[in-house]
């Protein structure tokens, strides 16, 4: 057996050593911190935030649950924020439309139209996607007709649901990072 890959090391919990470490005791145990403990003054909802668009029900996670390394990117990119917060965003959908397929291909950086069968581009695409390019829930959301006023209402209600106050004009980044006033 070889050494574990960096990805495996990142997923594996660190093992405690048998030797005692001298120095100060742990002040904050992030391994055991709950969101309720971290936000004691916020009445966090117990029900998920769901919405209906073109007859499809979607669910969005609390945006504060996004990984901190994405916070800056998410604050300036509504599509990435939605893709990250959308529950089951990468799950394949049944009966995709042509527009959903084009959205999917665009998301993967592929030409909107599949290359001709047997072409060099088709071979390269098959190597990248051995089971084919699968349209996912995020592509269905992205292909839906959604006027900006409805998107604004969605974002407003979503943040209200998770008790995220954007009225301070500091924007979503401050909210994602949990900065208090």
pLDDT tens for residues 97-137?
999 999 999 999 999 889 999 999 999 999 999 998 999 99
Buried-exposed string 45-66: b where 16+ CB fall within 10 A, e elsewhere: eeeebeeeeeeeebebbbbbeb
pLDDT tens for residues 2-21?
555 555 555 566 655 555 65
Q: Is the distance from CB of 138 to CB of 131 less than 8 angstroms? A: no
pTM: 0.74
Question: Which whole-number Å values give the CA distances from 1 to 11, 12, 15, 68, 86, in the listed order?
Answer: 18, 17, 20, 34, 38
Contacts (Cβ under 8 Å, ≥6 apart) of 56: 140, 141, 144
115 is written with which tokens? 């290359």
Distance from C-alpha of 75 to C-alpha of 71, rounded to nearest angstrom: 6
Q: Is the distance from CB of 60 to CB of 49 less than 8 angstroms? A: yes
pLDDT tens for residues 64-102?
888 888 877 877 788 888 889 999 999 999 999 999 999
Q: Which residue has the tokens 């592509």?
A: 139
- In the chain, what is the greatest distance between 2 CA atoms, to the nearest angstrom? 66
């Amino acid at each position: 057996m070889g050494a574990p890959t960096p990805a495996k090391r990142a997923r594996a919990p660190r093992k405690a050593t048998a030797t005692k470490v001298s120095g100060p005791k742990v002040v904050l145990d992030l391994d055991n911190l709950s969101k309720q403990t971290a936000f004691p003054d916020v009445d966090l909802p117990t029900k998920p935030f769901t919405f209906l668009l073109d007859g499809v029900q979607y669910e969005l996670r609390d945006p504060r649950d996004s990984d901190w390394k994405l916070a800056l990117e998410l604050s300036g990119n509504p599509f990435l924020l939605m893709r990250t917060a959308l529950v089951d965003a990468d799950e394949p959908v049944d009966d995709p439309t042509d527009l959903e397929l084009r959205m999917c291909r665009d998301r993967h950086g592929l030409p909107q139209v599949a290359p001709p069968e047997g072409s060099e581009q088709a071979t390269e695409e098959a190597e990248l996607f051995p089971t084919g390019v699968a349209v996912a829930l995020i592509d269905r959301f992205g292909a839906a007709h959604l006027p900006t006023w409805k998107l604004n209402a969605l974002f407003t209600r979503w943040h209200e649901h998770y008790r995220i106050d954007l009225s301070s004009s500091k924007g979503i980044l401050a909210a994602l990072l949990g900065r208090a006033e």
